[in-house]
Amino acid sequence: MHEYFVTQQLIKIAEDELKNLDFKKVTRIKVVVGELSGIIDESLKFYFDILTKGTILEGTQLKIIPKKALLYCQKCSEYFERTKDFTCPKCLSVGKLTEHGKEFYIESIEVDD
Partner 1 sequence: MEIKVIKNILERNQNAADNIRRLADENKWYIMNVMGSPGAGKTSFIKCMIENLKDIFNIVVIEGDVASTIDAQAIASYGVEVLQINTGGACHLVADSIAEAIDTLKPVPKTVIFVENIGNLICPSSFDLGENLKVVVSSAAEGDDKPYKYPAMFEKADVVVLSKIDVIDAIGFDMQRYKKGLEAIKDKDLKLFEVSFRTKEGVKSLTNYFYTLLDQYFKSRGKCL
Contact 107, 67 (CB under 8 A): no
Helix residue ranges, H only, 19-85: 41-51
From the list 5, 25, 66, 68, which residue makes contact with partner 1 (rule: CB under 8 A)? Answer: 5
78-81 sheet: strands from edge to edge: 78-81, 70-73, 96-97
Q: Which amino acid is residue 80, in one-letter code?
A: F
User: Stretches 32-40, 48-56, 59-67: which one binds partner 1 (CB under 8 A)?
Assistant: 32-40
User: Stretches 31-39, 47-55, 59-67: which one binds partner 1 (CB under 8 A)?
Assistant: 31-39
Check residue 73 for interaction with partner 1 (CB under 8 A).
no
Check residue 62 for interaction with partner 1 (CB under 8 A).
no
Other beta carbons less than 10 A from residue 16's beta carbon = 9
Annotated binding site for Zn(2+): 73, 76, 88, 91
Annotated binding site for Ni(2+): 2
